[in-house]
Amino acid sequence: MKANPRDVNSGTYYMDGDVASGYGALAAGCRFIGGYPITPSTEAAETFARIAPKAGAVFIQMEDELASIASVMGASWSGVKTMTITSGPGYSLMMEAIGLGAMIEAPFVILNIQRGGPSTGVPTKTGQADMMQSRWGSHGDYEVIAISPDSPQELFDYTIKAFNLSEKYRCPVMIMADECVGHMSEKVVIPPAEEIEIEPRRFYDGPKEKYLPFKPDQDLVPKMVKAGDGYNLYITGLVHDEKGYPIKNQMEKGKRQKLPTRRLVDKIRLNADKIIELNEEGLDDADVVVVSYGISYRVAVRGIEKAREKGIKVGSLRLITVWPFPDKKINELASKVKAFVVPEINYGQIVFEVERCSHGQANVVLVPHGGAGVHNPDDIAEAIEYAVKEKKKIRKVIEWKTRLEKFVFEGGCKLNK
Amino acid sequence: MAEIRFAGYGGQGIIRSGIIVGKGASIYDNKFSTMNQAFGPEARGGACSSQVLLSDTKVLYPYVTVSDVLVAMSQEGYDMFEPELSDKGTLLIDEDLVKSKPIRGKIKSFSIPSTRLAEELGNRVFANVVMLGFFTAATKLVSKEGMEKAVADSVPERFIKLNLKAFQKGYDYYKE
Amino acid sequence: MNPIITAFANGIKKSGVELSNIVVVSDIPFEPEIIKDLGVDFFHVTRGRAIAFGTGLKLGNPDLKVVAFIGDLMTLGGNHLVHSGRRNMEMLVICVNNFVYKEIAETPAPSVSSPSETGKKFHGTGGFSAFSTFEKPFNAPHLANSCGAVFTARWTAMHTNELTNSIANALLKRGFSVIEVLSPGPNFYKDINQIDSELLDFYYKNSVTKNNEDTRNVEITSEEKIITGEFTDKEKSPFIDTYNAQLGKILGDKFIPLGGHSGRD
């Protein structure tokens, strides 16, 4: 289905990533955003609030993030596409509800413009330390989709893609951008509506009395209806059967296999190949592969260039989709390359996923960064150089000592010596 | 590839200058550009800076490492970012606001009375646009037409004329 | 069937509101046997978030009649209550007050009054309340009224007719309405025989109806009779009307107002 021209502000702009995401949400057909202002994500909400009323969409500033995310799920079940926008502390507040969202299979998008953390952290500067939180933040078993854009144009494009994925798989989709990308200004081209492909909600169209809200289709995703359309819905966060009724005795014979959590996990895991999007460059003859995402990818490119100048064969694997994780791809590469180098603006999150999927076949080097800034590309280049020279198989994640880390280590953290 | 740094204090239009250059290059000159700003309390008074990268191909690494052009509108900004300027770079300072050190390497240095020229037009808020006019003429990194369109596009409609006048004033000052 | 649900069903009938248009959001676990036969849509969400979830439903489809059945209204849901009152979000909140979190353990809720001989009836005896409670309780109708609710009432679960009428009245109200229902314990959704009938009776007999009473005077104490009645009934522009008026004023023809199905695809 093509986007509605009313929702698409076509043109060529010079704008920052936050603003681009606000435009992207409307173009994707978003009709409701409940949000609460928080740096560095506020501009995205402001943008949507400004343009939405002209397209019949609504922005409401809720009383807090707990309310924002709950309202988004309510609106989702009322039949419209929805999103919320937040950062660090607000994201943490939303965690409980994400489990509900997964459980009641409400399609919705969360834009998280990551900042430095933990706690209030560095509100105006960058971080990539919410990556694991986005995967495991709520209690219980569920799967999500997370995307990591690296430019304002991508924040426009991938906001639309996030909506499409959430409608297709009926699960929370997180846009895990960061302050750098959110506040960076670049040219953004918003194409005409007829060039924007959007995924319509998959509404049920069978006989009313036969509708089962949690009976999956072939691809494990059930069809949806709108609240208020006379389907006598019973939708609960309790473990439920296909009708939606709570399963009272989970050990009851014949009921156990009907627990929905298996399907909540499988609908993403078994469709992972269709969901995952990667950007590969120079992998064919690479000795070392740099695995990166978001702003760290753009920084790593400079490091990769420097390493190549020294004759090192280094490839780049950029995770556009971070969750579900590209297990297969990493495993396949691990059998061919000497090492992975993973620069990320945290003290090790995605690097452990790379280590898990590499199954001890290749060394894994973490280039850490404590946040509030990006890597020095020289650190990445040196880590690559080390990785290609290291002959030993080191059976743990190797933490590269960056300039910043050395400075902190030598300057202050005497205890560690 | 050119790396440009604007430095000054909040309220001088330092970030707007970055946006105008970025917009002029990428939208009207069909090049690629990335603009980053120092965001936070500093954007509302105190030290303030923005950086623009211009390139004929997609900009990947988005930050200034060695700047080719430094536009300094405050002493603090000059002191902080002067060491970052390339030996062959171009330095533009507001002569009433910045006292420069002796010239290093092959740096081309220009002192412009941008605030004074803006005051002649009736308001010192145009100082950054005067500076942009001079910047355009001196560096030739972005076309004059592109810059003029970007200026017109970035200010409220009723101020377009005055801004273009300020731009021209800076541009002419270099020609003189 | 539970007396509150019965009153709710009768209230809907009396109000004439289309059943399929009603969406019930709750943060307490109903048993499906009770709610499924009602013919309404039902959502059971995380603790305290029923009002916020309902806000999304209402703004996603302004044609819906949203009813929030809440147990955690004044604790987890407190901020949502306060702000929805301020916004005058069109919604009926039915706060089932049993004074304790009896489902979990017999721990006191912030609606419970301070201890006394008679007051012991109000209290749980286990869990956190091993030493009884000593904190001041909330006065729910007054809290709602102060926040801007257009309709407030309080009944015990035994006031079947009165409760039915209030629910019917509130469903027709355009704005944020709050009805507090005093009901003993968590088993209210079970067979009436299992309800602590002594306690239910105690609430009923210990109450006095004073319609239009100033909400400042309706605090529940251990010493005095429980005041029941309809306390607030006023007219105020609901959120969607105010939103449409304000944005219409600024954006003129460019504005597509909320309401009907205009916003839906």
How far apart are alpha carbons B58 and B55 in whole angstroms?
Answer: 7
Q: Which of C12, C45, C89 to mutate to test the interface with A (most CBs of A within 10 A)?
A: C45
The torsion defined by the Cα of A34, A39, A43 and A48, in degrees rounded to 10, comes to: -10
| Chain A nearest-CA residue for B150 | A14
* Ranges of each domain in chain A: 1-275, 279-416
Q: How many CB pairs under 8 A join A and C?
A: 162
SS3 A107: coil
Each residue of A173-210: pLDDT tens digit? 999 999 999 999 999 999 999 999 999 999 999 999 99
Distance from CA of A295 to the nearest CA of B (A): 9
pLDDT at C19: 93
Put simply, the answer to whether B33 touches A186 (Cβ < 8 Å) is yes
Give the A-side interface with B, CB within 8 Å: 12-14, 40, 123-125, 179-180, 183-187, 295, 298-299, 301-302, 374, 377
pLDDT at C116: 42
Higher per-residue confidence, C118 vs A88: A88
Mean per-residue pLDDT for A355-361? 97
Closest CA in chain A for residue C252: A54
Contact A70 C39 (CB under 8 A): no
Contact B39 A301 (CB under 8 A): no
What does R_g of chain B's alpha carbons equal in angstroms?
15
Rounded CA-CA distance B12/B115 in Å is 10
pLDDT of residue C195: 46
Q: How many CB atoms lie within 10 A of CB A183?
A: 25
Least confident among A138-147, A258-267, C178-187: C178-187
Mean pLDDT of B100-114: 94
**B101 in A contact zone (CB under 8 Å):** no
Given this model, what pLDDT does residue B41 score? Answer: 58
Q: Is the pLDDT reported for residue B43 higher than 70?
A: no
How do residues C244-263 score in pLDDT, each as one tens digit? 999 999 999 999 999 854 44
Cβ–Cβ under 8 Å, residues C39 and C57:
no
Asked if pLDDT for residue B98 goes beyond 60, the answer is yes
**Closest CB to C60 among A63, A75, A245:** A75
Residues of chain B contacting residue A296, judged by C-beta atoms under 8 Å apart: none
The 10s digit of each residue's pLDDT in A90-122 is: 999 999 999 999 999 999 999 999 999 899 999
pLDDT confidence bin for C192, thresholds 50/70/90: very low
- The pLDDT confidence band at residue B44, using thresholds 50, 70 and 90, is low
Mean pLDDT, range C66-87, rounded to an integer: 92
Residue B19 and residue A299: Cβ atoms within 8 Å? no
pLDDT of residue C109: 61
Q: Do the Cβ atoms of A186 and B37 come within 8 Å?
A: no
Give me the pLDDT at residue A254, please. 57
Q: How confident is the model at residue C235 (pLDDT cuts 50, 70, 90)?
A: very high
- Interface contact flag, B60 A184, Cβ < 8 Å: no
Measured between CB atoms, which of C41, C54, C83 is closest to A231? C41
pLDDT above 50 (res C31)? yes
Q: In the predicted model, what is the mean pLDDT of chain A?
A: 94
Chains that touch C (3 or more CB pairs under 8 A): A
Q: Indicate the residue type of A241.
A: D
In the prediction, which pLDDT does C191 show?
A: 41
Model confidence at A249, in pLDDT bands (50, 70, 90)? Answer: low
List pLDDT tens digits, range B12-23: 999 999 999 999
Instruction: Please list every residue in chain A whose beta carbon sits closer than 8 Å to the beta carbon of residue B23.
Output: 14
pLDDT of residue A166: 98
Of the two residues A339 and C115, the one the predictor is more confident about is A339
For an interface test with C, which of A32, A71, A105 has the most C Cβ atoms less than 10 Å from its Cβ?
A: A71
The pLDDT confidence band at residue B176, using thresholds 50, 70 and 90, is confident
For residue A84, is pLDDT > 60? yes
**DSSP SS3 for A77:** helix
CA distance A73 to C37: 24
- Facing residue for C20 by CB, picked from A32, A230, A234: A230
Mean pLDDT of B109-117: 96
Of C45, C60, C79, the CB nearest to A78: C60
Closest by CA to B66, choosing from B93, B91, B87, is: B87
Decide if A54 and C251 are in contact by the 8 Å CB cutoff.
yes
Q: What is residue C263's predicted lDDT score, i.e. its pLDDT?
A: 40
Is C186 a residue whose pLDDT tops 80?
Answer: no
Task: Give the CATH fold of the A1-275 domain.
Answer: Rossmann fold (3.40.50)
C22 to chain A: closest CA residue: A228
Contacts of B59 in chain A (CB under 8 A): 186
- Structural domain for B118, as ranges: 2-175
Q: Where residue B79 falls among pLDDT bands split at 50, 70, 90? A: very high
For residue A123, give the chain B residue with the closest CA. Answer: B40
Which chain B residues are within 8 Å of A295, Cβ to Cβ?
62
B130 band by pLDDT with thresholds 50, 70 and 90: very high
Peptide bond into A40 cis (omega under 30): yes
Query: By CA distance, what is A235's nearest residue in C?
Result: C43
- Cβ distance A180 to B36 less than 8 Å, yes or no, reads yes
| pLDDT of the residue at C151 | 98
- Element (H or E) spanning A340, and its range? strand A339-343
Give the closest residue to A234 by CA, choosing from C36, C137, C160, C169.
Answer: C36
CATH topology classification for C3-235? Rossmann fold (3.40.50)
The residue that leads in pLDDT, C200 or B101, is B101
Q: Which of A64, A100, A231 sits opposite C79 (nearest CB)?
A: A64
B9 or C175, which is more confident? C175
Residue numbers of B between 108 and 127 with CB closer than 8 Å to A:
none
Given a cut of 90, is residue A135 above it in pLDDT?
Answer: yes
Average predicted confidence (pLDDT) for chain C: 83
Q: CA of A84, closest CA in chain C: separation in Å?
A: 12
- Say whether pLDDT at A165 is over 90: yes
pLDDT at A253: 56
On the question of pLDDT at C187 being above 70, the answer is: no
Residue in B34, B37, B39 closest to A186 by CB: B34
Q: Confidence band (pLDDT; 50, 70, 90) for A260?
A: confident
Q: Is the pLDDT of residue C36 over 70?
A: yes
Complex ipTM more than 0.90, yes or no: yes
- Please give the share of chain A, as a percent, with pLDDT higher than 70: 95
Predicted pLDDT at C34? 79
Q: How confident is the model at residue B39 (pLDDT cuts 50, 70, 90)?
A: low
Q: Tell whether domain A279-416 is in CATH 3.40.50.920.
A: yes
Contact C52 A226 (CB under 8 A): no
pLDDT in tens, A301-330: 999 999 999 999 999 999 999 999 999 999
CA distance C148 to C141: 11
* pLDDT tens digits, A380-394: 999 999 999 999 999
> Can you give the CATH number for the domain in which B127 is found?
3.40.920.10
Position B164 pLDDT exceeds 90: yes
- pLDDT at site C244: 96
In chain C, where the domains are located:
3-235
What residues of chain A lie within 8 A of the CB of C22, using their CB? 228
Mean pLDDT, residues B110-126: 94
Q: What is the mean pLDDT of residues B57-71?
A: 95
User: Searching chain A, which residue's CA lies closest to the CA of residue C40?
Assistant: A232
Residue A411 clears pLDDT 70, i.e. is over it: no
| Cα nearest neighbour of C76 on chain A | A66
C4-16 mean pLDDT: 95
Q: Which chains touch A (3 or more CB pairs under 8 A)?
A: B, C
Nearest to A183 among B19, B37, B63 (CB): B37
For residue A191, say if its preceding peptide bond is cis, omega within 30 degrees of 0.
no
Look at residue C176 in the predicted model and tell me its pLDDT: 98
* Candidates A76, A77, A167, A201, partner chain C, best to mutate (most C CBs within 10 A): A77
DSSP letters for A277-319: -EEEES-TT-SEEEEE-THHHHHHHHHHHHHHHTT--EEEEEE
Residue C169 pLDDT more than 70? yes
Contact B61 A124 (CB under 8 A): no
What residues contact B75, with CB distance under 8 A and at least 6 apart?
B97, B98, B99
Q: What pLDDT, in 10s, does the model give residues C83-140?
A: 999 999 999 999 988 765 544 444 556 665 544 433 444 444 434 445 556 677 889 9
pLDDT for residue C117: 39
Name the nearest CA neighbour of C27 among A358, A74, B147: A74
Indicate contact of C with B: 3+ CB pairs under 8 A.
no
Q: Which residues of B144-154 are buried (b: 16+ CB within 10 A; e: fewer)?
A: eebbbbbbbbb
Per the prediction, chain B carries an average pLDDT of 93
Whether C25 and A32 lie within 8 Å, measured CB to CB: no
For C77, the closest chain A residue by CA position comes to: A67
Q: How confident is the model at residue B147 (pLDDT cuts 50, 70, 90)?
A: very high
Residue of C18, C40, C44 to mutate, testing the A interface (most A Cβ within 10 Å of its Cβ): C44
- The predicted pLDDT at position B166 comes to 97
Orientation angle between helical segments A295-309 and A377-389, nearest 10 degrees: 60
Q: What percent of chain B has pLDDT over 70?
A: 96
Cβ separation of A104 and C255 shorter than 8 Å?
no
